[in-house]
Amino acid sequence: MLDLFSEEAPWAEPLAEGAVILRRRAREHAGELMRLVEEVSARNPFHHRITPGGHRMSVAMTNCGDFGWSTDSRGYQYSERDNASGLRWPAMPDRFRQLARECADEAGFAQFNPDACLINRYEPGAKLTLHQDKDEQDLKQPIVSVSLGLPAVFQFGGFDRGDATQRVLLEHGDIVVWGGPSRLRFHGILPLKPGIHPLTGAFRYNLTFRRAFR
Task: Detail the residues annotated as belonging to a binding site for Fe cation.
Answer: 131, 133, 187
Residues placed in the known binding site? 69, 76-78, 120-122, 131, 133, 135, 161, 187, 204-210
Nearest by Cα to 165 from 16, 17, 11: 16
Binding site for substrate, by residue number, is 69, 76-78, 135, 161
User: Can you say which residues are annotated as belonging to the binding site for 2-oxoglutarate?
Assistant: 120-122, 204-210
